[in-house]
Amino acid sequence: MNLEFDKKHIWHPYSSATNPAPVFAVDRAEGSSIYLEDGRVLIDGMSSWWCAIHGYNHPVLNQAIKDQTDKMAHMMFGGLTHEPAISLCEKLIKLTPEALQKVFLCDAGSVSVEVAIKMALQYWQAKGKSNKNRLLSLRRGYHGDTFAAMSVCDPDTGMHHIFNDVLMPNYFTEAPRCGFDEVWHDDYIHDFKQQITTHQAELAAVILEPIVQGAGGMRFYSPEFLKHVRALCNEHNVLLIVDEIATGFGRTGKLFGCNHANISPDIMCLGKSLTGGYMTLAATLCTEDIAETISNGEAGVFMHGPTFMGNPLACAVANASIDVLLNSTWQENTKRIETELRTGLAPARQLEQVHDVRTLGAIGVIELKQPVDIKVVQALFVEAGIWIRPFGKLVYTMPAFTISQAELQTLCNKIVSVVAKF
């Protein structure tokens, strides 16, 4: 494998083109194992940025791709439809909150957020309230790298502050202060209540990641916060968008993050593990009211249409992935993973450089007091035989639900041992 060509010509995510961090050449992957070209084998603690929930090279998902390839790999979705898309949308409507009855298929998580924001804006425009054209988002939130998505990410501590001057101006409220298992006090919702009350005339929607704020800090917050947000959105005539791209399909111990609070959003974004990590695909679901209002508005249609919308290969493997998940003991697996992560990462609490250790579902986080140098620590994890991709002050793991007990124990032990060297 020509790594010199890679270094000279290929620009990897969040990397410098002039001073790139080392990359490691992968030959193949199986289950929770990544086989490097040089012969080393790594236990994968990232499930490929949280999406390969069934592990790699899964026979059922492989077969779904092969079978669909023999029929058609792609077909435009404008004016045409096909069984994989219909079956997938039937599944999504059945699994998500009952009010969500319309599905818009799109390319990737960031695009699903773009679609959700456009839905909210076009909805209010169709109702003759075009002044409702701003969003309210949580600080420490992350919703993607495209422009509308960047505009609702944390404007100060997020990854996109250098674009603040050209992004759509939106409003922000403090990040939830009540931890997942902490006792709720009404003052935890005070700032949110103040913001939505003050700006209700301008707000098209509130957007948030339910229960887990992912790339903005891996923070877990109380379901009570979600319940209050839903009630306040209803009270002030503001739509609620939940970004379930990272939390969907079992990652938090519930099928969706919003299930922890038993709330129903107006719009839901799905992505990442939708296809089990095989193909890029996302979906934005909304209520009948939103769809009908947009369709009866000035444009008469929803103004979005990706070229690869409803790709048959992606829909076929998404159907297979959902079936594999629902036919498995995924709830037991996430509980097992949560228990092992809580036990296995606990020794890190004794390290001076560690600020906090927390777990929820199949998510384990070690928060450090100082940011890590990715160029240094990435190599340390590889040398230890595990694949972990830290960012900022966070060393975290979100493994496949199928990871074995032995692999998980080794993963935790190695994470703690490497963190001890920082």
Q: Which candidate in 272, 278, 393, 414 is catalytic?
A: 272
Q: Which candidate in 44, 123, 132, 142 is catalytic?
A: 142
The residues that bridge with 35 in the sheet, in sequence order, are: 28, 41
Q: In what order do the strands lie in the sheet with 363-368?
A: 354-360, 363-368, 394-397
44 in catalytic set: no
DSSP-assigned letters across all residues of 206-230: EEE-SSEETTTT-EEB-HHHHHHHH
Q: Are 117 and 135 in contact (CB under 8 A)?
A: yes
The length of the chain, given as a count of residues: 422
278 in catalytic set: no
DSSP-assigned letters across all residues of 35-92: EETTS-EEEESSHHHHT-TT-BS-HHHHHHHHHHHHH-S----SS---HHHHHHHHHH
14 in catalytic set: yes
8 in catalytic set: no
Position 330, amino acid: W
Determine the Cα–Cα distance for residues 329 and 347; give it in Å rounded to an integer.
29
Q: Which candidate in 107, 154, 243, 266 is catalytic?
A: 243
Determine the Cα–Cα distance for residues 241 and 269; give it in Å rounded to an integer.
8
Enter the DSSP assignment of 107.
Answer: S
Q: Which candidate in 7, 14, 27, 373 is catalytic?
A: 14
Known catalytic residues are 14, 142, 243, 272
